[in-house]
Amino acid sequence: MKFNRIIYLLLAIALPLVSFAKSDTQALFEKGNTAYAKAQYKQALADYQQILNAGYQSAALYFNMGNASYKDGEFTTAIWYYEKARKLSPGDEDINFNIRFANLKTTDKVDEPQEFFLTKWWRGFILSASLNALSITSILLVLFGSVLLIIYFFSHLVGLKKASFYIAIVLFVCGVFTIFIAAMQQSYFDSNKQAIIFTGTVNIKSGPAEQTATLFVLHDGTKVNILDTNNGWIKIKLANGNQGWLKKVDVKTI
Amino acid sequence: MNIRQYILILLFLLPLTIFAQGVKVSATASKTEVGTGEVFEVTFSVNGNVDRFSPPDFSGFQIVGGPNQSSSMESINGNTTMSTSFSYELMPTKEGDFTIGPATLGINGSKVVTNPIKIKVVKGKPVPKANSAQQGQQRQQSPNDVPEGNAADMAKYIFIRASVDKDNVYQGQQLTLTYKVYFRVGILQNQVTKLPDLTGFWNEDVKLPSQQQQQKPRIEVVKGERYNVADLKQIILFPEHAGNITVDPFEMNFIAQIPAPGRDLMQQFFGGGYQNVKYVAKSLPLVVHVRPLPEAGKPASFTGAVGKFDVEASIDKTELKANEALNYKVKVTGSGNIKLLKNLSTNFPADFEKYDPKITDTVTELVSGVSGSRFYNYLMIPRHQGDFTIDPLKFSYFNPATGRYVSLTTKGFKIKVNKGVNESNVTAFSGADKQDIKLLDKDIHYIKTGDAGLSKQGESFYGSTAFIISLLVGPFLALIAFIFRNKNRKYNADVVRVRSRRAGKIAAKRLADAQKQLRAGNANTFYEAIFKGLYGYLGDKLNISAADLNREVIASALAAKSVDEKVIDQLTDTLDLCEMARYAPVTHISEKEVFEKAKGVINDIEDEI
């Protein structure tokens, strides 16, 4: 939590473009939070929505919108918002917890196959921090490394020279690794396009046409991976490996 | 039974022997071993015209019936044969061995004697009283007490006929099997002893509209004889497989009243008496040819319906809430194997909870066939909201009249399911059980407050220009520092140049020191500082060691560097002045002027070199 705040603070510093009109949206955000605290979930959602309409987003905003939708009884929408929040801040424990919680309200129970522990661990690692946090961290690491390098260049003390040189090398390696992790995360989200089903009941077809056989039935709130799109239909894959086609209008991409 | 058949065969064979041997007489008994009280038949037959017949002595037997005379004549290829037979129905009264003596027959004027027959009488049922046996009209007689009728004779009085309305049908096509009894004697009692089991058919009894009406016999003429006809049973059959299927005989026991020759003159005069006889009548087996249904043009939805049908589907509501019941009714009307209809190939939304249909039949079985309607009531419970479609139901049947398959389609329905009160988590998707997440918390985590950390949508800091610039700032600075340091290092590496470069600075320092002395009023030290400052400066600047430093060397070095003569003169003047002032007071020039002069000289040299 504290770490996040620091990151957000750093973000605010690093992105001067954000600062303009930010105070307005922050006010809206706090207004929404107040409405939420008073259990006026619809009002809270409306306030949050205004921020979205203004063209701003954040993990915290989506998370709060998910919460408000959940409390409003719209579990599918809640899951969608949570998933959007997770995409911006994959390692956030609050978001992951609420996703699990909201998923208890959905109809379909899709069991995920056991993954090889290294794969799971690796994915957890690359998703442990948000893309922005990783970006800021890499910048800071490189910056500090550079400073130490400059110290190394101009220092006349042998001890300081040695120490600054090695620390600078370590910081540069860490910085490059952080950028690598960020790139991995980016490509993970690019290649794993997901969507949430919004239609109450969807017949999953064997092909992108209405006449094809119905393979199975899914219900709202289920998360699907998008494999392909074709003429208003999308090919989906479930966590358990089942594949099929459904109409684009039945889902909302995360 | 067997013996009787043998006798019959024998009787059939008799004429042949007669034809071969001329006159042939025979005496046969239906049984050679009988129990007391059991009726058996003795027949005397002859091929030829009988003039006279004198029966043998039937001592030890009671004559129950007879003599029944029958004669037949047949002409084959011009050979006319005649046969006459006399039969008696006898009942032994005592146990023991008896011999029925020969009967004498007069044929064509000659006398012929039959062979005697040995009969063994064993203990049987008690002998009925003679009078009761003769009082045929008594209805209370138990069937066992009634003598059995001669099969051949009785068949003329009573017979059962099985008939079908069609004997060449398709598999599953209905046909009506009728059993009729033909009789021209009075029937006192009847009892069905064996019903056909009708293997290979699905059957439905025709419910006769009124039992009374049907029992009223009609009159039919068969082979010149008038018979009363009554329907025994009508069954509608549905062949279950193709091939020739045999319909088993129908068996019935009758006690019939057949005319008998009078026992006395009076009876004979009034047309003879009556005799009660028992008779087992059997119908002949029937063969029904069943054709298989044609394979050509068989629709996919065909499930075996044969006949003529109509189908109609209905639904009780088109809009409902989740978890409410929905009734889908299909009505199949027509004639044919309606009760054999299999479950319909319905096409319900996969997400509906479906139950097996409740089937109600309203079917009437008439002689014309089985007809009526069957209702399939499907109960469905939609568990989730959404728009669903019940696809049209396809029903097809085979019409045996046209020999073609007919496909029917019902209406389809659109159903709107609204959100129910309490949607349960019904697993429509087949998968393993969802793993239970153990949750101690009962609620979602609270919203995030504080700074929202908002950023422009669609803009990722990662990969943006700002990110790349920020990332490059550090290395860029480090690079600049690196270049600067290297340059610096190179610059400082030349000792002479560094010395000359620093000469001005040191001189300035010395002059500043001198100024301090001037203010303090120490004239001696002031001049010394000026002197040292100038000497030091020139030494550094011209790279001349302190030992070699004197006026001449300096002047020549400066001249070598092509410094202006005037400046050199001024310098030597100042140096002389300072040297002089160290040992003697200087009056013609103030200390301040000396200081300015020294400063000016240094500045001039700095400018020149």
What tens digit of pLDDT does each residue of B227-258 get?
888 888 888 888 888 888 888 888 888 888 77
B4-20 b/e (C-beta count within 10 Å ≥ 16 → b)? eeebeeebeebbeebee
Whether A135 contacts chain B with CB within 8 A: yes
Higher-confidence residue of B212 and B154: namely: B154
Architecture of domain B495-608: Up-down Bundle (1.20)
Judge: A154–B445 Cβ closer than 8 Å, yes or no: no
Architecture of domain B2-135: Sandwich (2.60)
pTM of the model: 0.47
* pLDDT of res. B127: 46
**A156 alpha-carbon distance from chain centroid:** 47
- pLDDT tens profile B514-532: 888 878 777 777 888 888 8
Q: Which long-range contacts (CB under 8 A, 24 or more apart) does B541-550 make?
A: B541/B499, B541/B500, B541/B503, B541/B504, B541/B605, B541/B609, B542/B500, B543/B496, B543/B499, B543/B500
DSSP-based three-state secondary structure for B231:
strand
* H or E, element range at B492: helix B465-493
CATH number among 2.60.40.740, 1.10.8.60, 2.40.50.140, 3.40.640.10, domain B297-418: 2.60.40.740
Of residues B118, B175, B176, B155, the one with CA closest to residue B258: B155
Higher-confidence residue of B307 and B426: namely: B307
Report the distance separating Cα A92 and Cα A58, nearest Å: 12
Q: What average pLDDT does this structure show over B132-152? A: 51
* pLDDT of res. A169: 93
How big is the CA angle at B461 (ends B456 and B465), to the nearest 5 degrees?
A: 110
> Residues 6 or more apart from A213 whose CB is under 8 A from it?
A205, A206
Query: Exposed, middle or buried by CB within 10 Å (0-12, 13-18, 19+), for B209?
Result: exposed
* pLDDT of res. A199: 86
Judge: B481–A60 Cβ closer than 8 Å, yes or no: no
Supply the DSSP string of B361-429, one letter for each residue: EEEEEETTEEEEEEEEEEEEEE-S-EEEEEPPPEEEEEETTTTEEEEEE---EEEEEE--SS------S
Higher-confidence residue of B457 and A24: namely: A24
Of residues A24, A26, A101, the one with CA closest to residue A67: A101
Tokens matching residue B169: 């049908």
> Residues 6 or more apart from B331 whose CB is under 8 A from it?
B311, B312, B313, B314, B373, B374, B375, B376
* pLDDT of res. A20: 46
- What is the percentage of chain B residues whose pLDDT exceeds 90? 0
* pLDDT of res. B490: 83
* pLDDT of res. B422: 57
Residue with structure tokens 């079917």?
A: B363
Q: Which chain A positions have a beta carbon within 8 Å of B390's beta carbon?
A: none
Judge: B475–A217 Cβ closer than 8 Å, yes or no: no
Which A residues, 165 through 224, put their C-beta within 8 Å of a C-beta on chain B? 179, 182, 186, 199-201, 203, 214, 216-219
Distance from CA of B554 to the nearest CA of A (A): 37
The series of mean pLDDT values per 10 residues for chain A, 254 residues long, is: 55 49 79 89 90 87 91 89 88 86 82 79 85 88 91 87 91 93 88 86 87 85 87 87 88 86
How big is the CA angle at B238 (ends B237 and B239), to the nearest 5 degrees?
A: 110
Please, are residues B217 and B230 in contact by the beta-carbon 8 Å criterion?
yes
Every domain of chain B with CATH number 2.60.40.740 lies at: 297-418
Tokens matching residue B559: 């001249």
Every domain of chain B with CATH number 1.20.120 lies at: 495-608
Q: What average pLDDT does this structure show over B388-415? A: 86
* pLDDT of res. B14: 57
> Is the ipTM of this structure higher than 0.85?
no
Whether B138 contacts chain A with CB within 8 A: no
Return the residue of A nearest to B422 by Cα. Answer: A105
Residue B212 has pLDDT above 70, yes or no: no
Every domain of chain B with CATH number 2.60.40.10 lies at: 2-135
Distance from CA of B359 to the nearest CA of A (A): 28
* pLDDT of res. A58: 87
Higher-confidence residue of B601 and B327: namely: B327
Report the distance separating Cα A236 and Cα A207, nearest Å: 11
Of residues A88, A201, A196, the one with CA closest to residue B387: A201
Please, are residues A127 and A93 in contact by the beta-carbon 8 Å criterion?
no
Q: How confident is the model at residue B139 (pLDDT cuts 50, 70, 90)?
A: very low
Whether B430 contacts chain A with CB within 8 A: yes
Report the distance separating Cα B602 and Cα B609, nearest Å: 10
Distance from CA of A200 to the nearest CA of B (A): 5
- pLDDT tens profile B259-316: 766 566 666 666 566 777 888 888 888 888 888 888 878 887 788 888 888 888 888 8
Q: How confident is the model at residue B427 (pLDDT cuts 50, 70, 90)?
A: very low
- What integer best gives the mean pLDDT of chain B? 77
- pLDDT tens profile B376-386: 888 888 888 88
Cβ atoms within 10 A of the Cβ of A244, count? 23
Whether A80 contacts chain B with CB within 8 A: no
Q: Is the N-terminal amide bond of B15 cis, ω within 30° of 0? A: no
Of residues B157, B180, B11, the one with CA closest to residue B83: B11
Supply the DSSP string of B530-559, one letter for each residue: HHHHHHHHHHHHHT--GGG--HHHHHHHHH
Q: Which of A45, A109, A152, A178 to mutate to test the interface with B (most CBs of B within 10 A)?
A: A109
Residue with structure tokens 């600047």?
A: B541
User: Alpha-carbon Rg of chain A, whole angstroms?
Assistant: 22
Tokens matching residue B74: 């047949």
Report the distance separating Cα B536 and Cα B507, nearest Å: 7
* H or E, element range at B76: strand B61-76
Report the distance separating Cα B175 and Cα B157, nearest Å: 29
Please, are residues B171 and B231 in contact by the beta-carbon 8 Å criterion?
no
Higher-confidence residue of B147 and A107: namely: A107
Return the residue of A nearest to B444 by Cα. Answer: A98
Higher-confidence residue of A244 and B582: namely: A244
Class of domain B152-290: mainly beta
Residue B132 has pLDDT above 60, yes or no: no
Q: Which chain B positions have a beta carbon within 8 Å of A102's beta carbon?
A: 444
* pLDDT of res. A173: 95
For residue B24, CA distances in Å to B14, B104, B198, B323 come to 8, 13, 45, 94
Nearest to A11 among B428, B453, B482 (CB): B453
Q: Which chain A positions have a beta carbon within 8 Å of B481's beta carbon?
A: 149-150, 153-154
Of residues B29, B57, B26, the one with CA closest to residue B41: B29
